[in-house]
Every structure is written in structure tokens, then in C-alpha cells.
Amino acid sequence: MKKMNWLMMGLIVGVAACAGNRPQDPQAKVPVVVRHPPEVPPARDEPRDEALRQNARQEIEQSLSSNDEIIRAHAVEAAKEGLGTDGRKLVLRGLADTSPVVRFAAAAAVGDLQLSEAYDALRKMVDDGDPSVQLAVRFALHRLGDSRLTQEMVAYTHDPRKEVRSNAVLLLGRLGEKSAIKILHRMSSDSEPAVKLQVAEALWRLGDAAGLEDLVASTISKYPDDQMIALLALAEPRNPRVIEHIRGKLIGDFMEVKLVAARAAGMLGADDGYGLALQGARSSDPRERLLAAMALGAIERRDAQPVLANLLKDSDPDVRLAAGTAVWQLR
């Protein structure tokens, strides 16, 4: 199986690892047409399974020792998304990784979590040999209150490498500074579709209506991967005005798109896609099982614990990581 692009799933690693790949041909899979989503069973109030949480944490920790750099990068993301500041040691460990993909994920996670104890390590990484890592370090330093190098991030938006430009746009959006909007509008004319979609996400994150319009348009793209990226980007600012549009994507031809819509709805506090996520968790396709785990984590219903416990034993390491992350996201 092709390694999952976690950018598509709303996580940061995919930018460094896979950005700019043309989304899959919509004809690559025969769609299954369903006119209404599966029924959502009533939520059951179940106690938190502490043993399951420890198993999930162990999966994340073990994945950080994988020989596969992408799995290690995903583990850093899982620590951030699932464990939060409780996973700080795992995130900090990623700063010293030999892979730039992992260092990028770790530096960006440090910034997102504002882990002040990483400051000295970040200062030593300012001149890292990888431009995406350099970007993430400047992002993290800004988030820790040191903005002396922040302006340098703009220069990376002119880089000839599309993945570097995409990373620059992503992190400028995550800075939360309205001053970046003018730069992002200029980037909206970029020749690479992946960069333009990232610009739309960054603009919407900063509250710019142009980003919202572009993302809504991308949710009806002929490319399913574009639709998935756009759906998560719409939900990321947690603005309830987009919920009905996201609900509309729970019905459609492609299971993967519907599972991402279920996750996006969960991010906005709705469990309308819970039945879809349960269905996806039983799929023979590891990509769909991964998406289902992520949806269950976003929906945050504790009655999903038995399903996630099963996914935590999955043969695919990314599915296990997604399940481990989801376990720690349950209310």
C-alpha cells in the first residue's frame, strides 16, 4: 500500500513528504453510489478504557523507532494530535532525527504545542540543511515568542521547489498573523495546484473569504483527493457556518471522501458520519480503515473504543497509528 499522505488527512507531515503529487485519478476506483449515509446509532455513555489508552500510547512510542522515516514522522504527528503536551518527549525526540521529514514534523509540532523547552535546540537548527526544516524552525521560534527570523519565511514562498512553497504557505497560515494574507493572495496564482489549494486553506484559517470560496469549489473537484483536502481545510478553523456543506459530502460516490467528510463534521461537533466511520472500520481497504479511525477520533464518542481497539491491532502501521491517536482524542 502507498504510504498515506497525512497532509490530506489534516496533518502537517504530508507537505514535506508528498506535497505536489497529482491527486489520484478519479477513475482509478469504481465508485459505490449510496444516496444516504448509514444510520447513526445513539451514543452510549461508556467509561474511558485506561488499558486501551496505554496500548495506544505504546503504539505511538514504538512507531517513533520505526526504520521507515514516514512512519516516524507520522508518529510525531500522532503524539501531537493525540497526546498533546503529554507527548512532548516524543515530539522533542523527533528534532534530532536523521530524516528531514521527521525533523520538519517535530519542529512544526513544537510550534503548535508551544514547547518552550525546545528553544535552544531550535536555535541550533536554524541553518538545517533542509529548507522545509528551516521553515518549521522559524515557525516554531515565532510561536515561542522569538520573531527575529519570522520575516525570512516569506522568501521561501519564491522557492523553485513546489514542496517548499507549499510548506511556506502552510506554516504562514498556521502562524495566525493577518499580515500574511497579502502574501498568500499573491501565492494564489502559483502554477502548482497543490500550492494553490494550500493557499486557500491558509487564507480560510486566517478568516479570508477568498479562501473559503476556493475551498468550497475544491470540494466538487473531479479529483477525490482534492475534495478530501478541501473538506478538512474547511473544518479546521471550527467555523460552524460550513457544517451544512460538509454534511452534504456524507453522501456521494467515493467512500474515502465520505469518511473525510465524517471526520470534518466531527471536528465541528457533529456525529452525523459516525455510522460511516463504523462501516469504514470494517473495510478491506487499509486506506479506508485509516480514514475511519481518524473520523472516530474527531467525532470523540467513547462508544467507539471497541472498534478502535480492533484497529489498534491492524496489520497496517498507519492504521494502528491513526487508531492510537483516535483513542486519545475521545472525550
For residue 27, being part of any structural domain is answered with no
Q: What is the mean pLDDT of residues 292-304?
A: 98
Nearest to 289 by CA among 278, 300, 275: 278
pLDDT band for 137, please (50, 70, 90 cuts): very high
Mean pLDDT of the chain: 91
Eight-class DSSP state of 238? -
The confidence score (pLDDT) of residue 256 equals 97
Taking Cα atoms as reference points, which of 16, 140, 144 lies closest to residue 72? 16
User: Is residue 15 assigned to a domain?
Assistant: no
285 is a domain residue:
yes
**pLDDT higher than threshold 50 for residue 291:** yes
pTM, two decimal places:
0.89
Q: Among 184, 159, 248, which Cα is nearest to 262's?
A: 248
| Separation of alpha carbons 321 and 78, rounded Å | 7
Local confidence band at 24 (pLDDT 50, 70, 90 cut-offs): very low
Helical axes 162-175 vs 193-205, angle rounded to 10°: 0
Q: Does residue 103 lie within any of the structural domains?
A: yes
pLDDT of residue 30: 42
Percent of the chain with pLDDT over 70: 89
Classify residue 4: in a domain, yes or no.
no
Domain count of the chain?
1
Provide the grid cell at 239: 467555523
Confidence at residue 331, expressed as pLDDT on a 0 to 100 scale: 84
pLDDT in tens, 47-66: 999 999 999 999 999 999 99
Structural domain contains residue 234: yes
pLDDT at 284 over 70: yes
pLDDT level of residue 82 (50, 70, 90 thresholds): very high
> Is 320 contained in some domain?
yes
pLDDT band for 10, please (50, 70, 90 cuts). very low
| Residue 306 in grid coordinates | 471497541
7-16, 293-302, 306-315: which range is least confident on average?
A: 7-16
Domain for residue 310, yes or no?
A: yes
Domain that holds residue 156: 32-329
Mean pLDDT score, 164-181: 96
3-class secondary-structure state, position 252: strand
pLDDT class of 35 with cuts at 50, 70, 90:
low
